[in-house]
Structure 1
């Protein structure tokens, strides 16, 4: 058995070793998605990168290593704790930060582009 503590939600959930982190979160009412990505995502296939989480494990063996799909999706993130929840297998006690806005920024980009009003377009 493993314990997963979701920091933002203040919730600890126990699971069997090898459990998928995304499935565990969603089954317990915890969203790993932000905004419209709650509807528009790849459903856990590692293709979209929208289920980004920050994971802190006590030991390396508490998680599976990053998959090839994760390496591709997360190539601009140097923090090794940034993971795709759909690709994480839990093997021991971990702490998870869902929707880590501060980590969603890729070097040289803002989290969301600023909205610009264009009077000519009536916006």
Structure 2
């Protein structure tokens, strides 16, 4: 039998989970409410940013979950750009740029965490 030791729940982890859930609900709800309008696009954009902030606080080591959360946020950013411009090209460019930016930013954060012990 394998016994898994539980770590105590930290405030940043709990805050990150709550914020990610609220951001995902905002993003999904706004997408289906008045789809294609500026109100919907702005709310989806806000939800995408909130999911990203929650992801940063959560600090998961699971690569698949991290990529899925970043992809979900990137789709929200892409939706906002699409409603603004009605151009698939700019939508794809913005979504890829946001995805790359967040992956790079989180990669930088993890390298700081690894080197923090050496300071």
Same-fold call, TM cutoff 0.5: no
TM-score, length of structure 2 as denominator length: 0.30
Greater percentage in strand? 1
Q: Which has the higher contact order (CA 8 A, sep 6+)?
A: 1
Bigger proportion of residues as helix: 2
